[in-house]
């Protein structure tokens, strides 16, 4: 859908579990756009988990947390104007929050944590990167309205890969698109290697935010 002037995805609790759930992208804005001055708002969600069928063995996966700018429309302006703010994204394998196309989107003040391990402590066979800003579909050369003016700012990322030798590498961001088309990547903080305990702390912190805001999510209303 394009040029949506009032759209909101907020305060959802999404939990996927390895060997049980099989989701690709938890939230995906495929060939979808808000409008300048009234972007689609994706805010204050808790997104946990996106795994392969056999996450302890399969060394590739396309899914993840929140994806903006996916796909290629038939004309300029059909992707973009999405604001992703204040979300918590945990253990989503391939990526946390990604902007892979479109214009005018913002990724601001989110928390992305991935330990590179499964809940039972085993190493996940695949972990990629926390934040992405990238002209994945290579449409930037088509001109104004295809890719540009996106902002990734003020996010906290602790995204880890664990090697077979047990070594841990932090991979906070793939920012190939940060310096082109008026895009900006600013003040994002690499919080270093993540642990399973840090993942659990994010859920506790988000639940405290619910209480502070007086919000009841569906899982609590059953």
Dihedral, CA of residue 190, residue 195, residue 197 and residue 201, to nearest 10: 20
pLDDT > 80? residue 56: yes
Residue 174: predicted pLDDT: 96
Residue 110: predicted pLDDT: 98
Residue 192: predicted pLDDT: 92
Residue 165: predicted pLDDT: 86
Count of CB atoms situated within 10 Å of the CB of 95: 29
Residue 202: predicted pLDDT: 98
Q: Mean per-residue pLDDT for 73-102?
A: 97
Residue 199: predicted pLDDT: 98
Residue 218: predicted pLDDT: 83
Map out the domains of the chain as residue ranges. Answer: 8-215
Distance CA 19, CA 7 (A): 33
The residues with which 220 forms a beta bridge, in sequence order, are none
Share of the chain above pLDDT 70, in %: 100
Residue 202 host element (H or E): helix 196-213
pLDDT > 90? residue 219: no
Q: Under a CB-based contact definition with an 8 Å cutoff, are residues 172 and 129 in contact?
A: yes
Q: Which residue has the higher pLDDT, 201 or 6?
A: 201
Dihedral, CA of residue 96, residue 107, residue 14 and residue 194, to nearest 10: 40
Dihedral, CA of residue 188, residue 190, residue 196 and residue 201, to nearest 10: -50
Residue 166: predicted pLDDT: 87
Residue 222: predicted pLDDT: 61
Look up the pTM and report it.
0.97
Tens digit of each residue's pLDDT (9 = 90 or more) over 98-139: 999 999 999 999 999 999 999 999 999 999 999 999 999 999
Q: Mean per-residue pLDDT for 3-12?
A: 95
Supply 208's token pair.
Answer: 């405290």
Query: What distances in angstroms separate CA 83 from CA 56, 60, 77, 180, 219, one per listed residue?
Result: 33, 28, 15, 19, 25
Tens digit of each residue's pLDDT (9 = 90 or more) over 60-77: 999 999 999 999 999 999
Tens digit of each residue's pLDDT (9 = 90 or more) over 155-214: 999 999 999 888 999 999 999 999 899 999 999 999 999 999 999 999 999 999 999 999
DSSP 64-91: EEEEEEES--SSTTSSB-EEEES-EEE-
């Amino acid at each position: 859908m394009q040029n949506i002037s009032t759209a909101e995805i907020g305060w959802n609790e999404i939990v996927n579990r390895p060997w049980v759930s099989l989701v690709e992208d938890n939230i995906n804005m495929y060939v979808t756009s808000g409008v300048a001055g009234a972007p689609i708002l994706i805010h204050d969600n808790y997104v946990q988990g996106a795994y392969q069928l056999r996450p302890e063995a399969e060394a590739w996966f396309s899914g993840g947390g929140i994806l903006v700018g996916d796909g290629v429309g038939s004309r300029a302006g059909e992707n973009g104007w999405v604001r992703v703010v204040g979300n918590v994204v945990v253990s989503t394998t391939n990526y946390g929050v990604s902007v892979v196309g479109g214009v005018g989107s913002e990724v601001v003040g989110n928390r992305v944590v991935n330990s590179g391990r499964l809940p039972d402590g085993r190493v996940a066979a695949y972990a990629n990167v926390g934040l992405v800003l990238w002209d994945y579909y290579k449409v930037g050369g088509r001109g104004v309205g295809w890719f540009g003016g996106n902002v990734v700012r003020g996010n906290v990322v602790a995204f880890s890969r664990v090697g077979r030798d047990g070594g841990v590498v932090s991979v906070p961001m793939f920012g190939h698109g940060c310096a082109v088309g008026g895009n900006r990547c600013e003040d994002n903080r690499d919080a270093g290697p993540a642990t399973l305990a840090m993942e659990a702390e994010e859920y506790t912190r988000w639940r405290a935010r619910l209480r502070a805001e007086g919000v009841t999510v569906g899982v609590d209303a059953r």
